[in-house]
Amino acid sequence: MKVQKAAVIGAGTMGAGIAQVLSAAGIEVILKDVQQDFVDRGLANIKRMYDSRVKKGTLTESEADFLFANVKGATEYKGFDDVDLVIEAALETIEVKRAIFTELDKLCPPHAILASNTSALSISEIAASTKRPDKVLGMHFFNPAQTMKLVEVIPGLKTSAQTTETAMQLCKTLNKVAVKVEECPGFLVNRLLFPYLNEALYLLQEGNVTAQEIDKAAVEFGLPMGPFTLFDMTGIDVCAHVTEFLYKEYGQRFEPAPLLHLMVENKFLGQKSGAGFYSHPAGHIPKKDEPKQINPELENLLAQAQKERPSVSAPGKFDVHRVIMPMFNEALYAIQEKVAAPLDVDVAMQWGCGLNRGLVSLAEEKGFDWCLSELDAQQKIHGERFRPAWILRKLVRGGIHDCKALIQEPVAAR
């Protein structure tokens, strides 16, 4: 099916970005929110996105006007009777999403696909609120949706292959990179990213290495920014919420470092609150490469965190693999569960969080036996967070030392 007319529910940060992307591909879009001023704010943001493309010279003014005219604001469900697709980007609560999907199911034509941009909620549970679970799936765009290339396409338990294929093809039309991800908590990118972020906290509270040193090492490894810069940008409260959720779903391996809740309780939430791991004085726009100042209160919190749950430091010099291995190991857990194809893990991490080298291919460079002995050694010191995925032990036992055994045909549409 070719998507010609779509609707986006929620005109906030994500909804506006998604509506812009759809409209830029020549698709007619209804942008719906609950109040006219929210709709107007969303439309104004889309206009700004087009203006910036005109400024950059990638569109002429008349082309931008023509494409922007594809978006129509709404506070009612008028015009939904002939849409081919709806992407919901409203509040992240299951009750709100289920109510929206039940309503959409009644109003949209039978062929319409209903997608949710949820970051974490169960697609199958959302689908169960409709009479067309075969046509419901997750389309997880990354923020900002108008520029980030990755979309995780997440079928639920009853999603048909045809629905998934239509969503994958649509992503291609939208000039996005789509990766098919089986439904699991955190989907793929967040599931892999959070063990790395959490380990950076444990490492920091051991007190032998600074936030700047860890950030610098992560950038040298190939990430666009270090974990503490990312925490401060994203909002430490938001990260704490996701970490708690993943801990509840996966257990021990995701046990949050105590430093995380201490940061939130002390209102060090990152850039938005003026301080997180670094200080962010109001009105100060840091110059590129300007050294960041550590939050002076951090030292006290580190001591408190260490008291609450002592993290044992490993002997020897800090090595960035201490924070990378939990991410690599989680990739293997996802692969053994067939959540994603191995090559797609690398694609997702590249386009979803800017990792400029293959994550799974790390094993190519180091060898599976090195990865396993590193995880075994760290597990002895730090416990369950480093328990190796069994697929790794199987590969090593089988005498397989390179990645080829893992690499199957990718399912990413690119």
Cβ of residue 139: shortest distance to ligand NAD, in angstroms? 10
- Does 92 bind ligand NAD (CB under 6 A)? Our answer is yes
Tell me the residue nearest to ligand NAD as measured from the CB.
12
- Does 14 bind ligand NAD (CB under 6 A)? Our answer is yes
Q: Are 412 and 344 in contact (CB under 8 A)?
A: yes
Cβ of residue 65: shortest distance to ligand NAD, in angstroms? 25
Element (H, E) at 258: helix 258-265
Interaction with ligand NAD in 15-34: which residues (CB under 6 A)? 15, 32-34
Q: Which of 1, 5, 12, 411 binds ligand NAD (CB under 6 A)?
A: 12
The first and second tokens of residue 111, run together, are 């062929």
- Does 100 bind ligand NAD (CB under 6 A)? Our answer is yes
- Does 253 bind ligand NAD (CB under 6 A)? Our answer is no
Dihedrals phi, psi of 91, to nearest 5 degrees = -70, 150
Three-state secondary-structure class, residue 294: strand
Cβ-based nearer residue to ligand NAD, 5 or 241: 241
- Does 143 bind ligand NAD (CB under 6 A)? Our answer is yes
Cβ of residue 407: shortest distance to ligand NAD, in angstroms? 28
152 is catalytic: yes
- Does 129 bind ligand NAD (CB under 6 A)? Our answer is no
Cβ of residue 250: shortest distance to ligand NAD, in angstroms? 19
DSSP for residue 243: H
| Alpha-carbon 95 to chain mean position | 22
DSSP for residue 226: -
The first and second tokens of residue 78, run together, are 């008028």
Q: Which of 90, 154, 236, 327 binds ligand NAD (CB under 6 A)?
A: 90
| Alpha-carbon 343 to chain mean position | 18
- Does 210 bind ligand NAD (CB under 6 A)? Our answer is no
How far apart (Å, rounded) are the C-alpha atoms in residues 46 and 17?
A: 7
- Does 173 bind ligand NAD (CB under 6 A)? Our answer is no
Name the catalytic one among 28, 88, 152, 206: 152
How far apart (Å, rounded) are the C-alpha atoms in residues 380 and 393?
A: 16
How far apart (Å, rounded) are the C-alpha atoms in residues 122 and 114?
A: 14
Cβ of residue 375: shortest distance to ligand NAD, in angstroms? 30
Q: Using CB under 6 A, which of the segments 91-99, 258-266, 298-306, 337-345 binds ligand NAD?
A: 91-99
- Does 164 bind ligand NAD (CB under 6 A)? Our answer is no
Q: Using CB under 6 A, which of the segments 114-122, 171-179, 243-251, 256-264 binds ligand NAD?
A: 114-122
Q: Are 248 and 231 in contact (CB under 8 A)?
A: no
Q: Are 331 and 325 in contact (CB under 8 A)?
A: no
How far apart (Å, rounded) are the C-alpha atoms in residues 287 and 85?
A: 43
Dihedrals phi, psi of 114, to nearest 5 degrees = -115, 115
Cβ-based nearer residue to ligand NAD, 187 or 202: 187
Cβ-based nearer residue to ligand NAD, 90 or 360: 90
Contact code string over 316-345 relative to ligand NAD, x by CB under 6 A: ------------------------------
Q: Are 14 and 145 in contact (CB under 8 A)?
A: yes
Q: Which of 10, 138, 186, 352 binds ligand NAD (CB under 6 A)?
A: 10
* Amino acid identity for residue 135 in this structure: K
Q: Are 30 and 72 in contact (CB under 8 A)?
A: yes
224 preceded by a cis bond (ω within 30 of 0): no
Non-local (6+) Cβ contacts of 273 within 8 A are 267
Cβ-based nearer residue to ligand NAD, 118 or 229: 118
Total number of residues shown for the chain: 414
Q: Which of 70, 118, 329, 378 binds ligand NAD (CB under 6 A)?
A: 118
Cβ of residue 253: shortest distance to ligand NAD, in angstroms? 23
- Tell me which residues touch ligand NAD (CB under 6 A): 9-15, 32-34, 38, 89-92, 96, 100, 117-119, 143
Q: Which residues are catalytic?
A: 152
